Structure 1
Amino acid sequence: MRAVRVFFSLLFLAILASNVRAISHWSESRGVYDDICYLRQAHLFQRFGWTGIDTSLAHETDGYLAGKLRSIDFPNWNEPTRAPCHTETADGSKWVMTPPPGTGFVLALFPEGFQVIPLYVLANVIIAGFALYGLWRAREPGSLTLAAVFGALAIYFMINPTKASYSMAPTMVVCALTGLLTARLFIGDRRRLLMIAIVGLLLSLSVSFRIANIVLAAGYFLFFGVSFLVWRTRESFVSGLALGLAFLVGLLPVFAANLVNSGHPLVSAYGGQDTAAPYLDPAVLAAYLRDPQFPLMVVACAGTALLWRFGDHAGVRQLALLVAGNLALNLAFFATHPVFTQYYIIPILMLSLWTLLFAAVLTRGPARGFIAQKSDGPRPREMLSRIPH
């Protein structure tokens, strides 16, 4: 098995090197409108510090936005109010950007003019690290095979479809880390409240990269909410409370951006664009069925079913329930979303697949469930009393 690990480690590194080589030739003026907005947010942070969270066009005094739009031959590049992903506030007092501040913040960590390449290289290296960890942690032939195949695909995905939006690079990193911590939460980790809080914080921080990432937490709240309603114990209540409080803390950057740009912490700068009633569009469904996202969806659903069927510990089966609920809620959301892109359901699929992978490589030996237990074990309340905090 060591020879297999060495071989696939070299394969992972080869894919990573290929990705880095491709990324090194990327241009920050590739003609994608959203890119300009993420880069402008980064420019505002570098120029004004934390107050750069205010994206009002009134700050556009150095010609940065006009220069970026001109570089991609954008029509009306010299008219700021015609710029993409900018909208007028409800009171008509100013024009602001619609994306949340997180992607611009991580881009601002790198020098202007050389931001996208180092961001993607760093994200690729981190994902390769997670893939290597899963590969070398696997002890069974089946889990080793899963780690080898998925690890190679995960690194490749950091080029396609991740390159479609700058917000996807940090999102993919958060999905991998959250998947690992979620698996550890249900498979024998003793610091449960701390782990729950970290998972909640990561899920909410991902919203700073893409507003739609808020749906990634839906299955977690469903699981912990139902757990409390079923068991009604102090442990289940405190666990759900820890998740909720940590989630709110992680949303503070988004709340702050909304307050500054829209005048209210709960009102997004997207305005009416994100409040349209959901509906089932056959054209959108057909697009997903024809897209490479669909096979990944099938794999994620099948993997979740297998985890439930062959999980020999209560924690593993509970993890399968969480993943299944999260998949169902996220897929339902995007199936009824009026717009299709090649990466919309990639975050939930990667979060689910990373969670399933780490569940496979970590389930060796005894594992305790979070709330319930195997039918031949102690009663639920007895088990709950043993959960360390």
Structure 2
Amino acid sequence: MKIAKLAFGLICLAILASNIVTMSRWSEARGVYDDICYLRQAHLFQRLGVGGLNTNVALDYDHYFEGKLKEIAFAEWSDQMRWPCHNPMPNGKIVMQYPPGTGFLLALFPEGHQVVPLYVAASLIVCGLALSGIAMARTLPSVVVAGLFGALTVYLMINPAKASYSVAPTMALCAVTGFLTALWLSRDKRSVLLIALIGLLLGASVNFRLPNTLLAAGYFLFLGIPFLWTRSLATFVQGLGFGAGVIVGMMPTLIAQAINAGSPLATTYGSVDVVAPAFDLVVLGHYLRDMQFVLIVLAIGSTAWLLRVGEGSVRQVALVVAGNLAVNLVFFLSHPIFTSYYIVPIAMLSLWSVSFAWLMQQAAPLGREPASLEASSR
């Protein structure tokens, strides 16, 4: 079994090394509008500090974004009303539509060399957790499953994570949150600080992509429904800690929306981007032919399997994941727009949570009973 662990560990490291070599050749001017918009946010943070939360086009007095538009041969670079991923607000500002988290992380690295370090850092986090899963495995089948899953997660940092700069940090946060979710539910006495940390990370993920708000849905259902049923103080405190963590994590986006759109709850997206739910067979067909379909099948299959055979804390992890999957799939599959990464965050959060729950159950001391919700509420 040690040989199998070593072999899969080396496979994950080999994929990581290959990814880093590939990433080192990436250009920051590949002609994608989203890319230069995230880089503009990073430039604002580097130039203005916290003032970079204000993305008003009037702050482009150094002509940074105009230069980026010229690099990708954008014909209407001089017309700010036509700038990509910027929208006019009721307050008269023309602001960037994206939340500030991705730009903030890019700003941590030197201008001109920002994207590759961000992806390498996120890949190292994902690979580290993949190796941890392999190390935790206690049987040969579990080593094989953990090894294959680990190799897949590292590979995904190239495809589809390259599709948007916001996906790489989201993938890393999903991996960490999945581990912490399994850890939180596997303990005999559940820590309020741990669930608050999970909430903080999920809230922070909203700073990369606004739809990441839905990643917290399953946790709210898991904590809220038992509270309504039992009115337990312990369950209330857990829910309060989680909710507070989510709000604190989202605070940069709420502040940015207040500055740019006039209210913390006002969106900076244009009306063309805010579409009503509608099932579209063409969009559903795109998902069926995409890698996302494979990930969702794996997430649903592994969750259903744990619901069937899992006990105690493992089943409770599966319940959290099942609620999360249901809410997110209803939203995205009824969203009449397709991209190659929309469903990836919920799929990866689900798979990481289920994987670590299964591995932690194997690693539990012999004779120890898994934690139960009833016991944690006493």
Shorter-chain-normalised TM-score: which range? over 0.9
CA root-mean-square deviation: 1.3
Aligned residue number for residue 237 of structure 2: 238
Describe how 1:123-202 pairs up with structure 2 within 5 A: 123-188=122-187, 190=189, 192-202=191-201
C-alpha displacement at 1:31, in angstroms? 0.7
Q: Distance in 1 between matches of 2:245 and 2:369?
A: 25
Aligned residue number for residue 47 of structure 2: 47
Describe how 1:83-162 pairs up with structure 2 within 5 A: 83-91=83-91, 93-162=92-161
C-alpha displacement at 1:128, in angstroms? 0.8
Change (3 A) 1:191 1:247: same
Aligned residue number for residue 75 of structure 2: 75
Change (3 A) 1:359 1:236: same
Aligned residue number for residue 226 of structure 2: 227
Aligned residue number for residue 369 of structure 1: 371
Q: Distance in 2 between matches of 1:42 and 1:367?
A: 49
C-alpha displacement at 1:299, in angstroms? 1.0
Gaps of 5+ in 1: 373-382
Match of 1:360 among 355, 358, 361: 358
| Residue 331 of structure 2 is aligned to residue 333 of structure 1 | yes
C-alpha displacement at 1:2, in angstroms? 0.7
Match of 1:321 among 316, 319, 322: 319
Aligned residue number for residue 293 of structure 1: 292
Structure 2 counterpart of 1:353, one-letter code? L
What is the SS of the residue equivalent to 2:271? helix
Structure 2 counterpart of 1:170, one-letter code? P
Kept in 2, the 8 Å contact 1:318–1:369? The answer is no
Describe how 1:372-383 pairs up with structure 2 within 5 A: 372=374, 383=375
Aligned residue number for residue 249 of structure 2: 250
Change (3 A) 1:273 1:234: farther
Q: Distance in 1 between matches of 2:274 and 2:369?
A: 43
Q: Distance in 1 between matches of 2:4 and 2:335?
A: 43
Q: Distance in 2 between matches of 1:367 and 1:39?
A: 50
C-alpha displacement at 1:190, in angstroms? 4.0
Q: Distance in 2 between matches of 1:273 and 1:241?
A: 36
What is the SS of the residue equivalent to 1:363? helix
C-alpha displacement at 1:244, in angstroms? 0.8
1:133-152 Cα deviation digits (max 9, x unpaired):
11111112232122100000
C-alpha displacement at 1:357, in angstroms? 1.0
Kept in 1, the 8 Å contact 2:235–2:377? The answer is no
| Residue 12 of structure 2 is aligned to residue 12 of structure 1 | yes
TM-score of the pair, normalised by structure 2: 0.96
1:328-352 Cα deviation digits (max 9, x unpaired):
1101100111210111000000000
Return 187-196 or 171-180, whichever deviates more. 187-196
Change (3 A) 1:385 1:360: closer
Structure 2 counterpart of 1:194, one-letter code? L
Return 331-340 or 223-232, whichever deviates more. 223-232
Structure 1 counterpart of 2:226, one-letter code? S
Structure 1 counterpart of 2:83, one-letter code? A
C-alpha displacement at 1:197, in angstroms? 0.1
Structure 2 counterpart of 1:154, one-letter code? T
C-alpha displacement at 1:290, in angstroms? 1.4
Kept in 1, the 8 Å contact 2:257–2:266? The answer is yes
C-alpha displacement at 1:271, in angstroms? 4.2
Q: Distance in 1 between matches of 2:262 and 2:331?
A: 27
Return 46-55 or 70-79, whichever deviates more. 70-79
1:14-47 Cα deviation digits (max 9, x unpaired):
1011000000000000011100110000000000
Change (3 A) 1:357 1:385: closer
Structure 2 counterpart of 1:10, one-letter code? L
Q: Distance in 2 between matches of 1:355 and 1:200?
A: 14
* Percent of aligned pairs with the same amino acid: 53
How many pairs were matched up?
374
Kept in 2, the 8 Å contact 1:171–1:209? The answer is yes
What is the SS of the residue equivalent to 1:251? helix
Aligned residue number for residue 209 of structure 2: 210
Kept in 1, the 8 Å contact 2:189–2:376? The answer is no
Change (3 A) 1:76 1:265: same
Aligned residue number for residue 63 of structure 1: 63
Q: Distance in 2 between matches of 1:206 and 1:385?
A: 29
C-alpha displacement at 1:281, in angstroms? 1.3
